[in-house]
Structure 1
Amino acid sequence: MRLRAVFIPILGMAAATETCSAAPLQDALHAYGIQAWHIGRLWNFTLGLCVLVFSAVVAAFLFALWRAPRSDAQTPPDLSSLERPERRIHRTVAWAAGLATLGLLALLAADVFTSRALGRLPLQDAVNIELIGHQWWWEARYLDPDANRQFTTANELHIPVGRPVIVTLRSDDVIHTLWVPNLHGKRDMIPGRTATMQFRADQPGTYRGQCAEFCGLEHAMMALLVEAEPNAQYEAWAERQRQPAPALDAGPAGDAARRGRALFLAHSCARCHTINGTGATAAMGPDLTHLAGRKTIAAGMLPNDTKHLASWIRDPQTLKPGVYMPVNRMRPDELQDLLAYLETLK
C-alpha cells in the first residue's frame, strides 16, 4: 500500500511530462486571431497603466523619505500639524485621488471599447460548433442545417483560417471554462446554461485550449487542441469526419482488425463509445469513429500512438486517476487485435 502511494505520484509526474509532448503549451502573449489581438491590446494598456501608477507611488515614497527631517530618540515629536491645517498635503492627496479616478475611468473605457470590438466580428459563413465539457474531456459537435452533414468528434477542433467560428458552450457535469489564449479569452461553461464564444483564426497552426476552472481531480489534464488550417484542407477533414468507420480489409491482413472489432462490440467498450457504422452507439465517452486521425488521446494528455493507446486501454486509472473509463483486463493477443482495429479508424 505504501509502495502504491509513492508510485502513483511518480506516474502522475510522468504523465505531466507526456502532456507537454502530446499537446503544445499555452501561449497567452501571441495573438493569432483578431479577438485575441483586441484582448492583448487591452492587457498591454492595463499593464502599462499599472506600471506607471506603481512607479509613481514608489517615486513619491522615495521622495517623502528624502525630504523627511532627520531625528533621533531625543528629538521631541512634531505636533504642529494639530494647530494648523496641512493644506499642501490635502492638495497632494486630492490630486492623487483625481489621477487615480481618471486612471480607473480610462481602464473602464478601454474595457468597454474592447467589448464592443469583440462583439463586431463579422459572422458570415461561420462554422458552428457545440462544445460540451465533461470530466475530463471535450465533446465537439459540428452543426449544420442539413442533419446529414453534422458530425461529432472529441478533444480536437479543426477550424478554417479566415472564417469566423461560433462555439456554443455547455457543461455536462460541473463548471468548466474554455480558454484558447491565442484565439480568445476565457468563457465559463455552467451546467444548465449556454454560453457563446466567437473567434477567427488568422494564421494556420495548432493552438492549445485548456479548462481554466478547477473541475476535479484531473482538471490539469483537460486540454483541447485547435487546428487552424486552410479552408480546402478543413473541408476535406470535415468530409472525412462525416463518413462512417472505414471498411476493414477483406483479406488475411484484416483478420486481426475484424477480431478487434468483434471484441470492441462484445466488450464494455461499446457500452460507452460510439463508432458510426457499427452497433456501438453509446454516448458516455468520446466518439471513436475517427480516433486514429487524432493527434492525442485522453484530452491532450498522451500522444496517439500504439504504445500509449495500449497503456491507456489497459489501465486508464493509473494514468488519469478518477477518470470514468474502467480498467480493462484482457489477454495480450486480445489487446493487439483491439489496437489493430482502432488504428483503422482514420
Structure 2
Amino acid sequence: MSRSALRAGGLAAGLTGLAGCSGTQSVLDPAGVDAEVLADLFWVLLAGAVVLWILLNGAFFYVTRMSARRHSQRVGEALIIGAGIAFPTIVLAVLLSYGLSIMPDQRAPGDGLTVRVTGEQWWWRVEYLPEDGEPVVSANELRLPVGARTEIKLGAAKVIHSFWVPNLAGKMDMFPGRETRMAVEPTRTGEFRGQCAEFCGTSHALMAFSVVVMQPDDFAAWLESERADAAEPADASAARGREVFLAEGCGACHTVRGTPAVGTLGPDLTHVGGRRTIAAGTLPATAEAFGQWLANTDHIKPDVRMPTYRDLAAQDLADLAQYLKGLP
C-alpha cells in the first residue's frame, strides 16, 4: 500500500473519530453537569495514558535505537525501576485519586422534580411525580427543565436494564424489585437520545428514548398539558379510529385518559401523538409510521408483546393510525 493511501486512510479514520465527539448521543458533547465531569475525566485519563505511552515507548526506543549497546546494571535497573515501576505508579495513583475525588458529585441528589422510569420489554414507563397532585404518566420520552437537578428513580419490571443518556450523565442499572437512583442537571436545551445499555433480550437494540430539555416555563406548561385527558378526535377519520381502538380491545393494555381504555400493561397513549417517536425510539411519530407499526409489529420489533393488526381492513388501519397521531 502506498504512503498516500495510508495517509488517506489515517485521515478518514481521524475524521470518523472526530465525528463521534458530537451529536445527540455522545459522551464528548456534554449537555449536563454530570456529563461535563465525565468528559473531563475522559480527557484527563487520556492525557495520563498518552504520558505513560510516551514514557514507556520512549524508554524502549532509547535502549533499542538511540543507545543500542550493552548497558551497565545501574542503567538497566534505573530504567526498569524508574520508567517501568515508579513513574507509572505515580501517574496511575494521581489518576485514581482524581477519579475517586469526583465520584461524590455524581451521586448528588436532585432538588426539584422527581421522575420514575421503569424498564419494560422493550420500552420505558415514565412517571412524573410532582409534590402536589397525581403522577403524570408517559412513555418512551423524558422531558426535563434546563438548569434544574431532577431526581430519577429507576426500576425494572422483568429483567435488568441500564438507563443511559450520554449527553447528560453516566449509566445506571435498573433491577427488578429494587430501586436505584440518579440525578441529571441539563445545562442546555435540546433533544438527546437515551438507550438501554444492558442486554435485555431480543429487541434490546430497539429500546431507546428521547430526552427533550426545555426552558422551565415551557416545561411547566407541557407538564400541565400532560395532565389533561386525551383530545377528542379532530375529524371523522380519527373518530372512526377511536371506535376501532376500543372495538379491537386495545384498551385492555393501553390507557387513553378520558376514554374507557384503562389498561396498564403497555405504554400510556393519552398523548402519544405529541411524542418524538413511537415503539421506544424505533419509528417517528407520524401517521404513516403508526400504520406501519400496527401492521408489522412483530417484524419491526421482534418478540414484542403487542399483537399485530395486519388483518384489519386498510381503511380501519388508516383510521386507527390517524386517531393515534391525533392524541397530542
- Taking structure 2 as the reference length, the TM-score comes to 0.87
Q: Matched residues in 2 for 1:232 and 1:133: separation? A: 29
State the AA in 1 paired with 2:207: M
Equivalent position amino acid for 1:338 in 2: L
User: Which protein shows a greater Rg?
Assistant: 1
Write out per-residue CA displacement over residues 51-90 of structure 1, whole angstroms, 9 at most, x where no aligned residue: 1111111111111212334xxxxxxxx9xx9xxx934323
1:307 to 277, 283, 288: 288
What CA distance in whole angstroms lies between the structure 2 residues aligned with 1:184 and 1:231?
A: 20
Matched, 1:333 2:321: no
Alignment gaps of 5+ in structure 2: 1-22
- The aligned counterpart of 1:8 is none
Aligned residues of 2:173 and 2:180 also touching (Cα < 8 A): yes
CA distance in 2, matches of 1:88, 1:62: 15
- CA distance in 2 between counterparts of 1:119 and 1:333 reads 52
Cα offset, 1:44, TM superposition: 0.7
- Cα distance per residue 1:141-167 (max 9 Å; x no partner): 00123333x211111111111111111
- In structure 1, the residue matched to 2:3 is none
Q: Which amino acid aligns with 1:107?
A: L
SS of equivalent to 1:97 = helix
SS at match of 2:105: helix
Superimposed CA distance per residue, residues 250-287 of structure 1 (whole angstroms, 9 cap, x where no aligned partner): xxxx3332322122112132221111111111111111
Q: Aligned partner of 1:344: which letter?
A: G
Deviation of the 1:138 alpha carbon: 0.9
Choose between structure 1 and 2 for higher RCO, CA contacts under 8 A separated by at least 6 residues.
1
Aligned amino acid, residue 167 of structure 1: I
Number of paired residues?
Answer: 303
Q: Deviations over 1:175-218 (max 9, x none)?
A: 11111111101111122221111111111100111111111222
> Among residues 180, 187, 197, which one is paired with 2:172 in the alignment?
187
User: Does residue 82 of structure 2 align to residue 92 of structure 1?
Assistant: no
Once the 2 structures are TM-superposed, how far is the Cα of residue 25 of structure 1 from its aligned partner? 4.7
State the alpha-carbon separation in 2 of the partners of residues 337 and 88 from structure 1: 83
1:258 & 1:288 partners in 2: Cα distance?
16
CA distance in 2 between partners of 1:161 and 1:198 (Å) = 13
Contact in 1 for aligned 2:107/2:182 (Cα 8 Å)? no
Question: Which runs of structure 2 are paired with 1:251-262 in the superposition (5 Å)?
Answer: 254-262=235-243
Residue 153 (structure 2) aligns with = 168
Distance in 2, Cα, partners of 1:175 & 1:301: 20
> Matches of residues 41-56 of structure 1 in structure 2 within 5 Å?
41-56=40-55
SS across alignment from 2:150: strand
Q: What SS class does the counterpart of residue 324 from structure 1 fall into?
A: coil
- Per the alignment, residue 115 of structure 2 pairs with 129
1:105-131 deviations in Å (ceiling 9; x for gaps) = 11221112211233446x43x111001
1:343 is aligned to 2:328: no
Is the Cα–Cα contact under 8 Å of residues 315 and 326 in structure 1 kept in the other structure? no
- The answer on 1:230 being equivalent to 2:208 is no
2:138 aligns with: 153
CA distance in 1, matches of 2:259, 2:119: 25
Match for residue 274 of structure 2 among 268, 277, 293 = 293
Identity of paired residues, percent? 36
CA RMSD of aligned residues (A): 1.9
Question: What is the letter of the counterpart of residue 133 of structure 1?
Answer: G
Equivalent in the alignment of 1:3: none
Structure 1: distance between partners of 2:24 and 2:148: 24
One-letter amino acid of the structure 2 residue matched with residue 275 of structure 1: V
- CA separation in 2, counterparts of 1:31 and 1:158? 17
Distance 1:333 1:98 in 2: 75
- Residues 16-35 of structure 1 correspond to what in structure 2 (within 5 A)? 25-35=24-34
Aligned to 2:247: 266
Q: What corresponds to 2:100 in structure 1? A: 112
Asked if 1:201 corresponds to 2:186, the answer is yes
Look up the equivalent residue of 1:93 and give its one-letter code.
I
Amino acid in structure 2 at the alignment position of 1:114: I
Unaligned segments of structure 1, at least 5 residues: 1-23, 70-77
